[in-house]
Amino acid sequence: MTLERNHEDLAGHVDDFAARRGFTYTVQSDGETIGCVYIYPSETAGVDVNVRSWVRASHAEKDAALYAAVNEWLNEAWPFSLVEYAARS
């Protein structure tokens, strides 16, 4: 992604967050950004939100822990009945 496209992408996430249309969070480890979590309305009937997350390849070993932590956070702190978050293998 070019720097210009990245800036546009980030600006869109900021706008979505401010308007409460979607929520994007950076994932940090030791002060370094290693990934992102995206929470957006689902287009699937009966599903409240679609959640996606990723970590950089250099931190791939942290993906399972991120997935577990995000699932726990969604269940404990968010008012969703049904979350669509692709399972990890």
Report the distance separating Cα 51 and Cα 31, nearest Å: 23
Is the per-residue pLDDT at 89 higher than 80? no
Residue of 37 and 3 predicted with greater confidence: 37
pLDDT in tens, 25-78: 999 999 999 999 999 999 999 999 999 999 999 999 999 999 999 999 999 999
**For residue 79, with 0-12 CB atoms within 10 Å meaning exposed, 13-18 middle and 19 or more buried, which class applies?**
exposed
Is the per-residue pLDDT at 15 higher than 90? no
pLDDT at 11: 80
- What backbone phi and psi angles, to 5 degrees, belong to 55? -130, 155
Provide the pairing of β-strand 83-85 with 32-41. unpaired
